[in-house]
């Protein structure tokens, strides 16, 4: 009598089909996950064919039925793997995994931004979301912005299509408000926050207020002819001209860099602790225009000729 080992034929046929799928996938450029998801139903066909063959032979003779447990386990393992891939794909997990694997760090230019100003605008308020910025005074009658941003993405096209995707401008009365937005990003354990390096040009004859968010801020007042107020930025660098007509005043700053600072006393007259927050001032010329910096961890002063 013939001995029939159920599972042996299925394992052999499964290996043949899997090898063919993988072989042709190299030439057709198919994804391995797609191959496994498309191939695993073949296991059901192979097992069904083996059962039908056994039933056909059993009508002519009485075969002895035995199970090849190793083969059955191997076939079941491959089938289970394919089913898992299919379930993950239907749930969108495979797409996310492929997207993460294809991610690269890419840099793009910020979309150009410009807002024409006139005599009706007396003040500009800039609200940051934690990105590094450079603010520079200019004689142009416009508030403009340029720079770059860097993100980790699988897309080869820029995430920001226009300036409204990163900043909004609203004029209320005599004040122009610039509110920055976070870069578009998907939540997940493998996503990292993008980096923005922006330069903002502000007319030198309007008041400026910058509300930071523990970010790094570089100030280039140049020919400043109005007051600036800076608060809540972690690190502030002031590039001042030697013959400028301005005063730089800091309140509650932990670290000061620059030999030109003059340490002042607290409003109550108490002596400052050398290791604690400091109030300091730097004056150039008559010191007519004021740059007031508060709630910063470090302020660095650079004097340019």
- Domain boundaries defined on the chain: 3-101, 105-304
Question: According to the model, what pLDDT value does residue 273 have?
Answer: 45
Q: What is the CA radius of gyration of the chain?
A: 34
Question: According to the model, what pLDDT value does residue 85 have?
Answer: 64
Backbone angles phi, psi at 144, to 5 degrees: -135, 165
Backbone angles phi, psi at 38, to 5 degrees: -80, -25
pLDDT 10s digit of each residue in the chain, 305 long? 455 565 666 667 766 776 776 666 666 666 655 666 666 667 667 767 776 776 666 665 565 556 566 666 766 676 676 667 666 666 666 556 556 565 678 889 999 999 999 999 999 999 998 889 999 999 999 999 999 998 877 677 788 889 999 999 999 999 999 999 988 765 444 456 788 999 999 999 999 999 998 889 999 998 899 999 999 999 999 998 888 899 999 998 889 998 889 988 554 444 444 455 678 999 998 899 999 999 899 999 998 87
**166 C-beta neighbours (distance < 10 Å), count:** 23
Q: HSE (CB half, 13 Å, CA atoms) of 193?
A: 7
The 3-class SS string of the chain reads CCEEEECHHHHHHHHHHHHHHHHHHHHHCCCHHHHHHHHCHHHHHHHHHHHHHHHHHHCCCCCEEEECHHHHHHHHHHHHHHHHHHHHHHCCHHHHHHHHHCCEEEEEECCCEEEECCCCCCEEEEECCCCEEEEEEECCCEEEEEEEEEEEECCCCCCCCCHHHCEEEEEECCEEEEEECCCCCCCCCCCCCCEEEEEEEEECCCEEEEECCCCEEEEECCCCCCCEEEECCCEEEEEEECCCCEEEEEEEECEEECCCCEEECCCCCCCCCCCCCEEEEEEECCCCEEEEEECCCEEEEEEEC
Question: According to the model, what pLDDT value does residue 278 have?
Answer: 76
Position of tokens 């807002």? Answer: 115
Q: How far, in Å, CA of 166 to CA of 64, rounded? A: 74
pTM over 0.85: no
CA 282 from centroid of its chain's CA atoms: 37
Answer for the pair 182, 176: CB distance below 8 angstroms, yes or no.
Answer: no
Question: According to the model, what pLDDT value does residue 187 have?
Answer: 45
Position of tokens 């870069």? Answer: 183
Q: How far, in Å, CA of 132 to CA of 219, rounded? A: 11
Question: According to the model, what pLDDT value does residue 272 have?
Answer: 41
Q: HSE (CB half, 13 Å, CA atoms) of 187?
A: 0
7's tokens: 């599972």
Paired residues of 263 in beta bridges? 280
Answer for the pair 43, 80: CB distance below 8 angstroms, yes or no.
Answer: no
């Amino acid at each position: 009598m013939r001995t029939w080992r159920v599972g042996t034929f299925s394992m052999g046929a499964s290996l043949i089909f899997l090898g063919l799928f993988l072989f042709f996938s190299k030439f057709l450029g198919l994804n391995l996950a797609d191959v496994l998801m498309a191939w695993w139903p073949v296991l059901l066909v192979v097992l069904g064919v083996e059962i039908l063959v056994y039933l056909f032979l059993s009508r002519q003779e009485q075969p002895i039925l035995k199970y090849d447990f190793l083969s059955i386990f191997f076939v079941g393992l491959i089938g289970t793997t394919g089913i898992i891939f299919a379930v993950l794909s239907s749930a969108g997990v495979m797409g996310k995994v492929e997207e993460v694997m294809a991610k690269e760090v890419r840099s793009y230019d910020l979309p150009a931004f410009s807002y024409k100003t006139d005599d009706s605008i007396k003040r500009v308020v800039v609200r940051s979301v934690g990105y590094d910025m450079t603010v520079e005074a200019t004689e142009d009658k416009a508030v403009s912005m340029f720079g770059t941003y860097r993100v980790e993405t699988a897309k080869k096209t820029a995430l920001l299509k226009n300036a409204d995707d990163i900043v909004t401008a609203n004029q209320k009365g005599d004040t122009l408000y610039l509110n920055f937005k976070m870069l578009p990003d998907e939540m997940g354990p493998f996503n990292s926050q993008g980096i923005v390096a922006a330069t903002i040009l502000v007319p030198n004859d309007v008041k400026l207020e910058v509300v930071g968010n523990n970010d790094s801020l570089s100030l280039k007042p140049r020919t400043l002819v109005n007051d600036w107020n800076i608060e809540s930025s972690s690190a502030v660098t002031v590039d001042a001209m030697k013959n400028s007509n301005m005063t730089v005043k800091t309140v509650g700053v932990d670290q000061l860099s620059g030999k030109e600072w003059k340490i002042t006393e607290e409003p109550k007259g108490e002596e400052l602790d050398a290791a604690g927050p400091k109030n300091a001032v730097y004056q150039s010329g008559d010191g007519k225009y004021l740059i007031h910096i508060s709630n910063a961890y470090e302020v660095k002063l650079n004097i340019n000729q």
